[in-house]
A and B are shown apart, each in its own frame.
Chain A
Amino acid sequence: MLQQLDPIASPTDSISHQRSPEQSVVQRLWRACCKTVFVQSSFRSFIEPLVRLISPGYLAGFQRAKVLMVQPIASGYLLRLKPHGGLTMLPGQHVQLRIEQAGRFVDRFFTIASSQQQLQQAGIIELAIRQKPQGQISEWLKGGITPGADVWLGDVAGQFQLHQERPAWMIAAGSGITPFRSMLQSLSRLTQPVHLIYLVKQADQAWFADEWTELCRKFPLLTVDIWATQQRSRPDLEQIAQQVAAMHADLYVCGPNALRQQLTQALAALPHWQGKLFSETFGGSSSGDSQTVEFISRAGQNLQASGQGSLLQLAEQQGIAAKFGCRRGVCMQCVCQKQHGQVRNQLTGELSSFGPELVQLCVSEAVTPVTIQLSV
């Protein structure tokens, strides 16, 4: 049986992250009350400026965390954080990281790379972050962020978890290794065979190299295969699929979307396979002039558009209703939440970040695939 888990979360890229729209009657009443009495969408946003008077790092809805260490690893950084309050996690889940850089909040989602025990016993989590050209988080890390600095952690979420009752095959590509490190380090014993294939370009780019040998020594049922695609050929996915099916194992994939699609196809050809596919994927292509833009309406409908021109023009070409006013970047009526992807401001030529932020549809054009949360 094939199972795709949605929403698909990504370890190194930003993802859509929505709260459930269903609210209880009490919640709705409380919200209406805040809107009336405090003219705010929540009580926390009314009280936040006052709490910051006493505790300057306070941000409503977030937990403050101290940076303990920033360690360079192969084309990336390992960030060790100590959250102030009680954070809880399951191995394989991701967390929202918020930093403040030049007055701006930058939000990204990262899979927690460290174990549950490390959080419970030492109160520490680790994030492994791949360096991206012009990435805001990368710039911040490169800029010599000093231990002791404050960052914020939002919700921990995700359903990418290890099911130990069946044998497992894990396929990680690049920074997609992070959830597997968390899963395997959180295990106290292993009762079913686990086979991990870790795809990297070159062998010296593998993260946590010495930890894998140690883990294999600890768990005899675990095998780790660090697969350098530039030295060895690319793995034969159909062959892998056959092996997975023969073992009646579950398959866990964390890597680019294309990898998951190929494995899904390979597995679909094997009807006798009884396992499940769990996946976390990230990234899309960012080349070419015409980009795909995904618009999500308030009702939760997904609408796709692609082509050139401003996001507003793209939406209108597809008959998607979007609010607008002046169409020249002045009136702010068309401002919408961009969930991820990069846009260029047509007036200033400025490139946006990749993460969630507000954009003006009328003067923004997509540089990478973009997802927009419409306000209608």
Chain B
Amino acid sequence: MSEQFQIMRPLPQDQANKLAEKLDALLRTERASLGAEDARYLQRLVLVQRLLTISGRVLIAACFFSLWCLVPGILLLALGKIIDNMEIGHNVLHGQYDFIRHPYLNSETFEWDIACDAKSWQRTHNFEHHTYTNIIGMDRDYGYGLLRLSDDYRWRLQNSWQLLTYVALSTLFQWGVAYHELAAQRVFFGRKKADRHSQVSDAELKKAFFGKATRQLLKDYLVFPLLCFPVFGYVLLANFCANILRNWWTSTVIFCGHFTAEAQVFYPEDCQNESRGQWYYRQILGSSNFRGGVWLHVLTGHLSCQIEHHLFPDLPAWRYRRLAPQVQAIANEFGIAYNTGSFAGQYWTVLKRIVKNSWPTRKRVVQS
């Protein structure tokens, strides 16, 4: 029917080994050059984030003097939150900068300014999503259990209005993520998968969820508004807007990572005992990039280079930009589709995919 209904078969083993060899060589070169440049980049980034956040909050408080301060304040605070979430938080929690042995910018202790607790996110995102990327039924990030993005999933009535569901999810994205990463269906409703065993008790998961959620709500909607008491309402509103802006941005970027028209899906039976090369192959096909200036890459936390991120999740992200042409060349050499385009173009295909899968479709025939 259309390009999205093509099922991907695993790469033959000899090809996969050659692919793994090439990509591993690339990874080794990058690993060997880790050093002061990465440390400087991270320090600079954190400084920019602090300056944006503080100036944003000061401007918002300055609504006491002039309401003209409100919008710039919101924008600066939102930018600060975006950088904290994407280029710092996401990447630090992937352990990309652990080699520095920084006392607080490391994957074990870092915490970010969103509703989702960092440890819960690591559990589901780093593990389930990065290991089982785009495998039907195993990658819970595929549609987040809310959206039907491929006809491998059964159509349900709720899928008819899934464009609206998507807009709502996007607006409340941080809460969606917090709920989703907690694997809430399992924790709150006892829907557990037989083959998955959690090492963390439900009580601990709930404590982490409610603890972080309470702290975030207190901070943005009580403590900071109270600190600027005369303009309590404005501060509350501004924080709310900054959070929504950040939610829209992160959700848009993240949806462009795996849900574009040509991002492929896989069947679990094809991914059993897969080799490193086949895993690499699946990561390339299941992810999609978009092009843009340096500022766009930084604001997306380099998820604009989703393919490189999925191949090398623990390399400092700013290197992905430089690696992309080399990865593309390797992909071309093996005849593997390298999915990239403009930000708007890729996003448009995501929207189309959400709409297209709102209608019941016939189960596709697997091509061999």
Q: Which A residues form the contact surface with B (CB < 8 A)?
A: 35-37, 39-42, 45-46, 49-50, 52-53, 60-61, 100, 102-107, 321, 323-326, 328, 330-333, 335-337, 348, 350, 356-358, 360, 375
- Are B107 and A332 closer than 8 Å at their CB atoms? yes
Name the contact of B43 in the complex, choosing from A49, A61, A358 (C-beta under 8 A): A49
B215 contacts which chain A residues (CB < 8 A)? 35-36, 39
- Are B126 and A330 closer than 8 Å at their CB atoms? yes
- B141 → chain A, closest Cβ, in Å? 13
A3 to B83, CA, bound (A): 54
- Are B219 and A103 closer than 8 Å at their CB atoms? no
- Are B101 and A357 closer than 8 Å at their CB atoms? yes
* B interface: dominant SS: helix
- Are A39 and B108 closer than 8 Å at their CB atoms? no
- Are A330 and B130 closer than 8 Å at their CB atoms? yes
- Are B108 and A36 closer than 8 Å at their CB atoms? no
- Are A337 and B43 closer than 8 Å at their CB atoms? no
B35 contacts which chain A residues (CB < 8 A)? 102-104
- Are B131 and A331 closer than 8 Å at their CB atoms? yes
A333 to B314, CA, bound (A): 13
Name the contact of B122 in the complex, choosing from A42, A53, A107, A333 (C-beta under 8 A): A333
Name the contact of A50 in the complex, choosing from B38, B47, B106 (C-beta under 8 A): B47
- Are A40 and B218 closer than 8 Å at their CB atoms? no
- A325 in contact with B108 given A36-B215, A105-B101, A357-B101 (CB within 8 Å): no
| Residues in B160-186 with C-beta less than 8 Å from chain A | none
From B90-98, B146-154, B289-297, B331-339, the one touching the partner chain is B90-98
Name the contact of A332 in the complex, choosing from B43, B46, B94, B112 (C-beta under 8 A): B94
B103 at interface, CB cutoff 8 A: yes
- Are B107 and A335 closer than 8 Å at their CB atoms? yes
What 5 pairs across the A-B complex have the smallest Cβ distances? A103-B39, A325-B127, A103-B36, A331-B126, A331-B127
- A49 in contact with B40 given A39-B219, A61-B103 (CB within 8 Å): no
B130 contacts which chain A residues (CB < 8 A)? 326, 330-331
A53 contacts which chain B residues (CB < 8 A)? 47
B50 at interface, CB cutoff 8 A: yes
9 residue pairs A–B, Cβ–Cβ below 8 Å: A36-B215, A36-B223, A49-B43, A103-B34, A103-B100, A324-B199, A332-B122, A333-B127, A375-B108
CB-nearest residue of chain A to B119 = A333
- Are B38 and A103 closer than 8 Å at their CB atoms? yes
B122 contacts which chain A residues (CB < 8 A)? 325, 331-333
- Are B93 and A332 closer than 8 Å at their CB atoms? yes
- Are A321 and B199 closer than 8 Å at their CB atoms? yes
- A104 → chain B, closest Cβ, in Å? 6
